[in-house]
């Protein structure tokens, strides 16, 4: 039967409408249902943060005691002075250290009567204590007292004394004062104050070490690199475990008042460090645990010795038995107290020069410390075993506290010549040491959070089919906000707030980066995608395409016929 | 009292030790990806590397061991509780203190990638996590059945070399490793390390693209092949290493030449910063700790505070703990079915179109076929 016009028209209309439905309705529907949900991320802000221009400012107040400036000079003391130092780290980071800008706009002033009285005390330590009673500096700031050379507070060869809190005493020499104008005096004082700042707050090397994540270190200052490898990285919490190792319970019955010792000696330090991280402590006693190395008897010392080279193999066999808290992923610091068994007592640790180490202890970077405690002196040879021994916790905790300081990053650097540093107080940490730690931790946190956020943004950009949920976008936004606030606070000099914001930034960025949902879709190579879609769409598309072609060819034929008819 | 000692030559040498490798701790991720009794050799491979790594000092807390099937307690094992690696049952690599972190069906591509990148749910215990930091050297050992660009997991899924390279890049971005040693013992193993692009990775494979890795020897008593050739000779090589040995990576590259292995082992060191000749085997397989002598101690003079016992009174708030209900029967009975994502049933679309076409032709007759074609 011949195809009537109506039927042909109907066929064309059907083909066209099917094609229209497929294109207008089907394709967008397929696109929407197969696309991944990606919440909006503040990408431009993240790019700005990636440049990481840090401004660090420390407030320094310089107080002139009587006898350092003449009365006429006193009147002309300038009100404000700022000093900027620009440092580049690895070429692309630019940091400015702004110093000597005080909160109350009066960095230079003369001493008050009460301060003069305090400075008249016999020793520097007492002067430091009474100065501290008068006023307490907020964290991140320093006060430098300039004392005349006639003052007897400091010994002969020492020009600068760094106290336990946030004060320093600087003695000017006679030739600095005589005949000089105020500007010259201030200019001469400046390098000394800068040096004080580098010791008490931050220096270029400290900041470089704190940024070692972003900056691949080049062998420069070896000591500071060793410091960076030794100390634990910044973490929101740490766990400290004290273990008593008793390999010979048949001979020694050991008692240690660990709870009291921890409360008295360790807890004050940890309370002081609480702005930095949370600490949790536990303790245990392990029996029949030997060291992995057999000590050798040295007849010249009448004792067993462990030399420094064999210490590296001591830790591994012990570590398997130590155990750890299964619930948290915080880094663990282990402090072990080893009491040698009766056949290997006394046991001493010797260094390379075959000298006895006075503390009889060693520590391993990012792990903890081990101390050997000899008890053979507490009993004679005729006593009945097991012997009851009370361990002297003050001595033990003194060593553990020193090791704890090193492992947490309180650097014991050698001061420049002419400097005298006061010993840290009974808490084990001087205020300015805490400030140093807070500066470097803030910078480290900010750098790490920035790197995390930038790499997360890059990752999500590169891999197109990872789902970005709303909660991840929210974490990223809050991390970006906290970072901006932290950098602003650092610029102003509010160290406490800066540290707090940097901690929040790190928590949010780590939560966003390590969210379990970011692994949802696996990688689909292109040929696999074709293999999935072709059997679904090809059978449908072939009739539509062919009918489209038929319509087009028929239309062309009609046009040719029309043209032929015209001619 | 803080005292400052001056450094002399011996102390400086001490400090130089730090910079030879730059790592302070070691981790190992050992994965066996195949199940079924006839893949006994893959489990034996992984367990022999586990054994060497433990012997050289890495503790269990730093090893993530993933075994896809249990051979020691398999019904077909004539010697239960053992996994042998030598003919005539010379060496039982199962030992007494094996700690398997991911077992059986938990060994999936997803879990493996989650362990590497750290994206584990918060309830994951510490032993199942890779808690490495920027100073960790990690050894990753994979074995199983593989092909050109992929490794088969559990006979049902695969991981491609692109995914693996991306996972390592994510580890690098977050500084989860200092240096990485990647060893793979599968057929065409070299294809798996072709796509790496992150720094500080050294890779070894048992065979090149297009070659098969062969197994070593069958044991007539157990009835299956006990080990693969590459890992067998590597185990022999590692048995000679002790924690203080100074053997370097160039010796490991020479393990199992073509005459012994039949396939050609390959390695890749272009992404690695240090010269392989200066890298010790114990940098990755062992755990040699850096040690410093504690030179100072703090003088503590306060007496110990006596801990006071808190008086127990009736008003004291005590947290009462109770055992969680293991099988909440009432919840199970009354709960609604979980909302799952809706997917159309398989073949639905094809069936739909077939139906449409059939209806069309039924209505208008077969002669209209030429309108379509």
Q: HEC string of A200-234?
A: HCCCHHHHHHHCCCCCCCCCCCHHHHHHHHHCCCC
Looking up tokens 């430098």, which residue turns up? A144
Looking at mean pLDDT, say which of A45-54, A155-164, B140-149, B285-294 comes out highest: B140-149
pLDDT at residue A89, as a whole number: 58
Using an 8 Å CB-CB cutoff, list chain A residues near B308: none
Using an 8 Å CB-CB cutoff, list chain B residues near A428: 298
- Phi, psi (deg, nearest 5) at residue A293: -115, 140
pLDDT at residue A235, as a whole number: 86
CA distance B270 to B276: 10
Of B294, B303, B367, the CB nearest to A362: B294
Identify the residue among B160, B172, B246, B304 best suited for mutation to test binding to A, counting A beta carbons within 10 A and taking the highest.
Answer: B304
CB of A347 within 8 A of CB of A357? no
pLDDT at residue B1, as a whole number: 33
**Residue A161 in 3-state DSSP?**
strand
Question: In angstroms, what CA-CA distances link A211 with A90, A237, A442?
Answer: 10, 20, 10
How far is residue A230 CA from its own chain's centroid? 13
Contact with chain B for residue A451, Cβ under 8 A:
yes
CA distance A113 to A66: 10
Q: b/e map of A51-61 (b: 16 or more CB within 10 Å)?
A: ebebbbbbbbb
Looking up tokens 């690599």, which residue turns up? B93
* Contact check, Cβ <8 Å, B18/A229: yes
* Contact check, Cβ <8 Å, A536/B349: yes
CA distance A514 to A521: 15
Residue B145 designated active-site: yes
**Residue A427 in 3-state DSSP?**
coil
Determine which helix (DSSP H) or strand (DSSP E) holds A99, and give its type and residue range: strand A93-99
| Higher pLDDT pick, A96 / A236 | A236
* Contact check, Cβ <8 Å, B289/A515: no
CA distance A111 to A100: 18
Confidence of residue A92 (pLDDT cuts 50, 70, 90): very low
CB of A407 within 8 A of CB of A368? yes
CB of A435 within 8 A of CB of A201? yes
Calculate the dihedral angle through the C-alpha atoms of A398, A400, A401, A404, rounding to the nearest 10 degrees: 160
Looking up tokens 């002081």, which residue turns up? A272
Residue A452: is its pLDDT beyond 50? Answer: yes
Rg (CA), chain B: 28
Determine which helix (DSSP H) or strand (DSSP E) holds A1, and give its type and residue range: none
Using an 8 Å CB-CB cutoff, list chain A residues near B19: 219, 222, 225
pLDDT at residue B231, as a whole number: 92
* E strands, A353-503, in order: 361-364, 368-372, 387-390, 419-421
Please give the mean pLDDT across all residues of chain A: 81
CB atoms within 10 A of CB A320: 15
Calculate the dihedral angle through the C-alpha atoms of B274, B149, B142, B286, rounding to the nearest 10 degrees: 0
Rg (CA), chain A: 36
Per annotation, catalytic residue among B42, B62, B187, B225: B187
Of B289, B296, B301, the CB nearest to A364: B289
Pairs across A and B, CB distance < 8 A: 216
Residue B86 designated active-site: no
Residue A102: is its pLDDT beyond 50? Answer: no
Contact with chain B for residue A362, Cβ under 8 A:
yes
pLDDT at residue B7, as a whole number: 42
CA distance A135 to A115: 10
| Nearest C-alpha neighbor of B293 from the set A342, A353, A296 | A353
Q: Which residue of B has its CA nearest to A306?
A: B293
Comparing A236-245, A512-521, B172-181, the range with the smallest average pLDDT is A512-521
Confidence of residue A241 (pLDDT cuts 50, 70, 90): very high
Per-residue DSSP letter, A308: G
Residue A238: strand pairing partners: A279
| A:486-545 residues touching chain B, CB 8 A cutoff | 513-516, 518-519, 522-523, 525, 535-536, 539-540, 543
Per-residue tokens: B238: 């590692």
The rounded average pLDDT for each run of 10 residues, N- to C-terminus, in chain B (373 residues) is: 40 51 88 93 94 90 93 91 81 88 93 92 89 91 93 91 89 90 93 92 93 86 89 91 89 89 91 90 86 82 67 60 74 70 78 88 73 61
Using an 8 Å CB-CB cutoff, list chain B residues near A349: 293
Residue A105: is its pLDDT beyond 70? Answer: no
- Phi, psi (deg, nearest 5) at residue B57: 125, -10
Residue A339: is its pLDDT beyond 50? Answer: yes
CA distance B284 to B138: 7
């Amino acid at each position: 039967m011949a195809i009537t016009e109506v039927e042909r028209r109907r066929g064309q209309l059907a083909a066209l409408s099917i094609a229209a439905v497929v294109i207008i309705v089907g394709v967008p529907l397929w696109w929407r249902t197969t696309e991944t949900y990606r919440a909006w991320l503040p990408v431009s802000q993240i790019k700005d943060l990636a440049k990481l221009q840090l401004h660090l400012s420390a407030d320094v107040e310089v107080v002139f005691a009587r006898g350092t400036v003449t009365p006429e000079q006193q009147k002309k003391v300038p009100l404000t002075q700022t000093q900027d130092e620009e440092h580049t780290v690895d070429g692309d980071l630019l940091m400015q250290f702004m110093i000597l800008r005080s909160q109350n706009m009066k960095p230079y002033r003369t001493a008050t009567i009460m301060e003069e009285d305090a400075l008249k005390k016999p020793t520097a330590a007492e002067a430091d204590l009474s100065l501290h009673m008068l006023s307490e500096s907020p964290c991140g700031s320093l006060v430098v007292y300039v004392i005349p050379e006639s003052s007897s507070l400091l010994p002969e060869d020492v020009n600068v004394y760094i106290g336990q809190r946030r004060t320093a005493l600087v003695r000017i020499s006679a030739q600095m004062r005589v005949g000089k104008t105020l500007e010259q005096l201030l200019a001469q004082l400046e390098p000394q104050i800068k040096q004080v700042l580098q010791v008490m707050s931050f220096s270029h090397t400290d900041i470089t070490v704190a940024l070692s994540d972003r900056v691949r270190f080049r062998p420069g200052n070896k000591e500071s690199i060793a410091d960076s490898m030794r100390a634990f990285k910044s973490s929101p919490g740490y766990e400290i475990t004290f273990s008593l190792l008793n390999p010979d319970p048949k001979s020694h019955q050991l008692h240690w008042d660990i709870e009291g010792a921890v409360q008295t000696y360790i807890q004050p330090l940890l309370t002081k460090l609480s702005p930095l991280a949370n600490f949790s402590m536990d303790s245990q006693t392990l029996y029949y645990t030997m060291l992995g190395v057999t000590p050798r008897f040295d007849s010249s010392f009448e004792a067993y010795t462990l030399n420094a080279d064999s210490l590296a193999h001591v830790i591994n066999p012990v570590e398997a038995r130590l155990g750890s808290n299964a619930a948290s992923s915080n880094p663990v610091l282990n402090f072990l107290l080893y009491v040698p068994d009766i056949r290997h007592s006394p046991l001493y640790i010797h260094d390379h020069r075959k000298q006895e180490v006075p503390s009889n202890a060693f520590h391993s970077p990012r792990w903890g410390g081990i101390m050997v405690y000899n008890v053979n002196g507490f009993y004679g040879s005729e006593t009945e075993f097991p012997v009851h021994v009370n361990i002297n916790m003050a001595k033990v905790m003194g060593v553990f506290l020193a090791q704890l300081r090193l492992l947490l990053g309180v650097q014991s650097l050698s001061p420049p010549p002419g400097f005298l540093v006061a010993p840290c107080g009974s808490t084990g940490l001087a205020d300015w040491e805490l400030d140093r730690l807070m500066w470097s931790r803030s910078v480290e946190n900010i750098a790490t959070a920035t790197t995390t956020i930038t790499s997360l943004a890059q990752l999500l950009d590169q891999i197109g089919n990872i789902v970005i949920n709303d909660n991840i976008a929210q974490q990223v936004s809050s991390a970006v906000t906290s970072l901006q606030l932290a950098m602003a606070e650092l610029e102003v000099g509010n160290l406490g707030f800066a540290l707090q914001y940097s901690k929040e930034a790190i928590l949010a960025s780590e939560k966003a980066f390590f969210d379990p949902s970011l692994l949802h879709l696996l990688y689909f190579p292109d040929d696999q995608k074709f293999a999935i879609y072709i059997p679904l769409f090809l059978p449908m598309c072939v009739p539509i395409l062919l009918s489209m072609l038929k319509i087009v060819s028929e239309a062309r034929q009609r046009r040719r016929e029309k043209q032929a008819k015209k001619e | 009292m803080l005292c400052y000692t001056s450094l002399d030559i011996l102390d400086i040498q001490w400090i130089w030790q730090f910079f030879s490798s730059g790592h302070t701790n070691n981790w190992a991720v050992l994965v066996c990806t195949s199940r079924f009794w006839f893949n006994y050799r893959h489990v034996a491979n992984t367990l022999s590397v586990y054994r060497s790594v433990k012997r050289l000092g890495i503790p269990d807390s730093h090893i993530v061991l993933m075994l896809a099937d249990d051979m020691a307690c398999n019904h077909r094992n004539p010697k239960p509780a053992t996994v042998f690696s030598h003919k005539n049952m010379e060496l039982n690599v199962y030992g007494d203190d094996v700690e398997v972190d991911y077992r059986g069906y938990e060994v999936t591509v997803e879990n493996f990638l989650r362990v590497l990148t750290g994206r584990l749910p918060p309830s994951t215990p510490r032993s199942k996590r890779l808690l490495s930091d920027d100073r960790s050297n990690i050894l990753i050992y994979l074995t199983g059945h593989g092909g050109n660009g992929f490794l088969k997991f559990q006979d049902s899924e695969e991981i491609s070399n692109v995914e693996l390279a991306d996972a390592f890049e994510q580890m690098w971005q977050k500084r989860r490793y200092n240096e990485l040693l990647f060893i793979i013992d599968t057929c065409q193993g070299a294809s798996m390390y072709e796509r790496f692009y992150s720094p500080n990775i050294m890779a070894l494979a048992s065979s090149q693209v297009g070659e098969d890795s062969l197994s070593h020897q069958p044991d007539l008593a157990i009835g299956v092949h006990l080990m693969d050739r590459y890992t067998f000779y590597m185990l022999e090589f590692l048995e000679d290493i002790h924690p203080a040995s100074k053997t370097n990576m160039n010796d490991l590259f020479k393990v199992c030449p073509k005459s012994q292995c039949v396939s050609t082992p390959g390695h890749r060191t272009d992404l690695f910063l240090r010269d392989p000749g200066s890298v010790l085997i114990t940098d990755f397989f062992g755990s040699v700790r850096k040690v410093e002598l504690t030179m100072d101690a703090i003088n503590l003079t306060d007496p110990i505070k006596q801990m006071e016992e808190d008086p127990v009174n009736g008003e004291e708030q005590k947290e009462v703990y109770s055992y969680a209900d293991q099988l909440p029967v009432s919840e199970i009975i009354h709960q609604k079915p979980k909302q799952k994502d809706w997917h159309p049933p398989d073949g639905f679309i094809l069936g739909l179109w077939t139906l449409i076409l059939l209806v069309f032709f039924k209505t208008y007759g077969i002669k209209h076929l030429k309108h379509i074609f």
